[in-house]
């Protein structure tokens, strides 16, 4: 494919007939579907609304998460603390494919408004929680809204912007998200230290309210009004959604309980894990049946090897904070400052890579470079110890941040390149679901490795109480400055050494996974990013002076 590497992308250019992925020319596409829409104030108002919606996700990833330890303590959650985070991820992942199908049937406007309203409701329940059960219930409702938010932003941008140009607008939204994640830890700290923890959740209400109003006023996009709500509901893939949600919940319950309530070998873990895995196999088989006319996750979206490779690219850095707190003895606030490297480097790198993708039109080279940096970052993490200098760990974090941000944030356009426009919502929802699902697997696998090796190295510690904590199967919760400093030397140094060695093993075992991702990107198929927009969900037509409305 030839790409213009010097001429800037004209965001208002008229679409020209182009070759599709199969080599045929789309010369006879109706102009109402293929012309590049004029971007008036409504378009930019929608982008502003989506930027505001993205702040809700930023708040979850920073303000809420960094404040959870204090919330758990003040509300007396106890051992059930694990559900406060995991129930959020569970409901978030489980509903994403369903949200994609609902947005196809009832339109993006209704889905977006419903999602934001659900997130606001969940935040209100959490803020007003009087007991742990109410807080966990609110987090479950929040998760449903958040799962839809992560999906609907990409779907709406896909409806309004040709594939080749999407990176430019996603970069704008990502920049706002980056501001939110950068300020989030500071805002969370100020709230916790100066007012009630409830404002950690209540702060979402005005932000969500503004987002809802903007979407209500400006998100006027086309959708199928020719059928009744009852007819639309009949088209839902109830069986497929039911199998997928039940299987996902079963697996995530097993991963939530593992090494916290029960050991990995317990039937309490193995039964839901096997039932969930069997359910996913059943789901794939069911979705491929000819009788399923509108599957929630069409198997055809996985037919291209590029799509499969993009789905395989995921690993997480959830144990980097443990290095700062358990090895370098940083406080939670100090570790939050240390982790700003990821935001300050990763967010701009992601935005720049998306703009480059839009201008260049090539994603394979970007993925190869990103996955190489990703693998290098994981490998460098495995050599960090107590004596690593500040300059060294900063540069190591920069490498890792560049790799993961470049790779993860340019995957969706590459995946969409091989998918028909009619399948964009289903594909985006599936992509978001698998990312969320992989996120939890990444944490569970790395946590199991960490717990296993802390137990292996625990005999190095002289103190019996410390050894008991390190062999309990939940050493993650003990990897804090407060726990380590509760002992005297030399036990304190011994515990740090155990955590250092265990963390090195976590990252070292991650190197083959990252290397495999790099090899997969070498086999990606470069598919032309479409410059025309073919969608049934574009901006609504406007009537002007009684004339026939023109497609916008």
pLDDT at 258: 74
Exposure of 355 by Cβ count < 10 A (0-12 exposed, 13-18 middle, 19+ buried)? middle
Q: Are residues 441 and 413 in the same domain?
A: yes
Question: For the residues 234-259, what does the mean pLDDT come to?
Answer: 84
| C-alpha span between 225 and 155 (Å, rounded) | 19
Q: Is residue 298 part of a domain?
A: no
- 89 with 208, same domain: the answer is yes
In our burial notation (b when 16+ CB lie closer than 10 A, e otherwise), range 279-318 reads bbeebeebbeeeeeeebbbbeebbebebbebbbebbbbbe
Is the residue at 8 inside a domain? no
Q: Which domain holds residue 378?
A: 305-524
The pLDDT value given to residue 479: 79
Share of the chain above pLDDT 70, in %: 80
Per-residue confidence at 148, pLDDT binned at 50, 70, 90?
A: confident
pLDDT tens-place string over residues 304-316: 666 566 555 544 4
Indicate whether 309 and 433 sit together in one domain. Answer: yes
Are 279 and 351 in the same domain?
no
Report if residue 22 sits inside a domain.
no
In the listed set 222, 245, 275, which residue is the last one of a domain according to the structure?
A: 222
What pLDDT is stored for residue 535 in this prediction? 62
Question: Is position 542 within any domain?
Answer: no
Torsions phi, psi of 3, nearest 5? -130, 140
pLDDT tens-digit map of 27-58: 333 433 444 456 778 888 888 888 888 888 77
**Residue 190 and residue 253 in one domain:** no
* Alpha-helical segments (H) within 128-264: 132-160, 166-194, 199-202, 204-218, 229-234, 238-257
- CATH value at residue 113: 1.20.1250.20
d(CA 349, CA 336): 20
pLDDT > 70? residue 224: no
Q: Convert the pLDDT of each residue in 480-499 to its tens digit.
A: 787 888 888 898 999 999 99
Rounded Cα–Cα distance for residues 433 and 427 (Å): 10
Whether residue 243 is found in the same domain as residue 167 = no
Q: Looking at the structure, do residues 319 and 363 belong to the same domain, yes or no?
A: yes
What does the pLDDT average to over 312-327? 69
Residue 230 covered by a domain: no
Q: Where does 258-312 have alpha helices with state H?
A: 267-287, 305-312
pTM for the model stands at 0.73
> For position 124, what pLDDT does the model report?
93
Is residue 356 one of the residues assigned to a domain?
yes
- pLDDT exceeds cutoff 90 at 259: no
Same domain, 286 and 314: no
Q: Are residues 278 and 195 in the same domain?
A: no
What is the rounded average pLDDT of the residues 522-539? 70
Assigned domain for 546 exists: no
Does 261 share its domain with 370? no
Our count of domains for the chain comes to: 3
Answer yes or no: do 260 and 380 share one domain: no
Lookup: tokens for 519: 């090899």
- Boundary residue ending a domain (248, 269, 293): 293
Q: Which helix (H) or strand (E) holds 367?
A: helix 364-381
68 lies in some domain = yes
Q: Among all chains, which residue has been given the structure tokens 């509901």?
A: 233
Reply yes or no on whether the pLDDT at 282 is more than 90.
Answer: yes
Same domain? For 98 and 195 the reply is: yes
Q: 542 pairs with which residues across the strands? A: 550
Please compute the mean of the pLDDT values over residues 177-191 and round it to a whole number.
74
Which range among 5-19, 80-94, 366-380 shows the weakest confidence by mean pLDDT? 5-19
């Amino acid at each position: 494919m030839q790409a213009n590497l010097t001429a800037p992308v004209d965001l208002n250019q008229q679409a020209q007939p182009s070759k599709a992925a199969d080599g045929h020319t789309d010369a006879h596409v109706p102009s109402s579907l293929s012309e590049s829409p004029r971007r008036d104030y409504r378009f930019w108002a929608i982008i502003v609304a989506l930027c505001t919606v993205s702040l809700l996700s930023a708040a979850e990833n920073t303000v809420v998460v960094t404040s959870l330890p204090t919330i758990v303590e003040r509300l007396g959650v106890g051992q059930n603390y694990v559900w406060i985070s995991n129930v959020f991820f569970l409901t978030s992942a489980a509903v994403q494919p369903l949200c994609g199908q609902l947005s196809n049937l009832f339109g993006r406007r209704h889905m977006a408004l419903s999602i934001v309203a659900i997130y606001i409701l969940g935040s209100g329940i959490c803020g007003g929680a009087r007991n742990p059960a109410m807080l966990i219930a609110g987090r479950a409702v929040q998760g449903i809204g958040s799962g839809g938010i992560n999906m609907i932003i990409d779907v709406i941008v896909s409806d309004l912007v040709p594939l080749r140009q999407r990176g430019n607008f996603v970069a704008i939204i990502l920049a706002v998200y980056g501001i939110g994640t950068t300020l989030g830890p500071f805002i969370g700290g100020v709230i916790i230290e100066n007012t009630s923890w409830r404002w950690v959740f209540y702060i979402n209400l005005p932000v969500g309210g503004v987002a809802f109003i903007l979407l209500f006023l400006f998100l006027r996009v086309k959708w199928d009004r020719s059928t009744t709500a009852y007819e639309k509901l009949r088209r839902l893939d109830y069986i497929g959604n039911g199998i997928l949600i039940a299987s996902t919940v079963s697996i995530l319950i097993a991963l939530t309980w593992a090494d916290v309530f029960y050991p990995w070998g317990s039937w309490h873990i193995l039964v839901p894990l096997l039932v969930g895995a069997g359910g996913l196999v059943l789901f794939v088989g069911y979705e491929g049946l000819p009788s399923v006319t509108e599957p929630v996750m069409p198997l055809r979206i996985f037919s291209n090897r590029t799509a499969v490779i993009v789905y395989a690219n995921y690993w997480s850095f959830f144990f980097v904070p443990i290095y700062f707190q358990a090895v370098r003895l940083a406080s939670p606030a100090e570790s939050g400052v240390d982790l700003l490297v990821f935001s300050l480097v990763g967010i701009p790198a992601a935005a720049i890579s998306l703009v480059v993708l839009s201008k260049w039109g090539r994603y394979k080279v970007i993925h190869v470079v990103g996955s190489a940096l990703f693998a290098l970052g994981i490998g460098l993490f495995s050599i960090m110890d107590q004596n690593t200098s500040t300059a060294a760990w900063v540069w190591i974090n920069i490498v890792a941040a560049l790799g993961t941000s470049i790779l993860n944030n340019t995957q969706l356009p590459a995946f969409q390149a091989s998918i028909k426009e009619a399948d964009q919502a289903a594909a985006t929802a599936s992509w978001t679901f698998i990312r969320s699902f992989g996120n939890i697997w990444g944490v569970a696998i790395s946590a199991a490795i960490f717990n296993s090796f802390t137990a292996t190295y625990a005999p190095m510690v002289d103190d019996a109480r410390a050894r008991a904590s390190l062999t309990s199967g939940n050493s993650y919760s003990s990897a804090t400055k407060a726990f380590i400093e509760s002992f005297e030397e030399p036990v304190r140094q011994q515990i740090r050494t155990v955590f250092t060695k265990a963390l090195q093993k976590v990252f070292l075992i991650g190197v083959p996974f990252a290397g495999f991702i790099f090899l997969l990107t070498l086999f990606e198929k470069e598919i032309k990013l479409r410059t025309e927009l073919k969608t049934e969900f574009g901006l609504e037509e406007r009537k002007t002076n009684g004339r026939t409305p023109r497609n916008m």
